[in-house]
Structure 1
């Protein structure tokens, strides 16, 4: 639906009139309840929102895959590609070799820092996050014994999210800084 058609639908007026069969009647005409609902398709999410959603979904999928250290979890490739997907899969595979799992979930507060356009269309969104992994920690598989004596904390994370040919958005690269970097 074009913008003009949406405006017309929003501004459209429905007139309902009621006439009495007996114009000289002293009783008021019977009232009829009329309900008109106009359904307007929601506006599409802006590219920045889609990029942030992909970024957050990547971390959710990684947290879920980390519960079993499954480097081949199918959801990973739905939200990450390129270097980002390689880093995630390598990390999960290494944890699996070491007999580690990750429990809990990271907390994120992503902010868009830059938007790149190609031919006027947003194609790349860069994100900065101050992620908190203090409740997303590694444990020895089957024992719930902490893998190391360190807890997590707040870390700066920089990510690049790109529009894909199929219309989806995926994280292509990310870098996680040390605890206390934000």
Structure 2
């Protein structure tokens, strides 16, 4: 069954509203109602969602760390570093949303069951980078804790130090 067929079926059966009756019982017209799980699949597919990115999908593999591209890894680090450098660790909804859309688009390039693990890996990378930055700030400003303000020069120093490490790993032979 294609996504379009599922959407048409869901619209025709009006399965968008959760049935008030219990699973397996009949509605007022005598039609058999569908299970909540089946309804949630139909709703996700019919509204353009990706069932592999939904936590309630039983076919999704348990979340685990998977390899991601260097570009996405750099984008995640850039996002977190920019938040601490320019916004003291905070961020606007628009910026977070735009980055999340990029991460979802990347996840959709991967095999279906692996997509949640890709997003999980990205989240773990975000937490790791935030922990490193906050640890660096605490080493320079004893007693600091989030959300206390700090000098952005400390974060810039951390970024320069980390970029130096990244550049040392690159061997360019002429």
Q: TM-score range by the shorter chain?
A: under 0.3
- TM-score after normalising by structure 2: 0.23
- Look at both structures and tell me which one has the larger radius of gyration over its CA atoms: 1
Between structures 1 and 2, the one with greater helix share: 2
- TM-score after normalising by structure 1: 0.22
Between structures 1 and 2, the one with greater strand share: 1
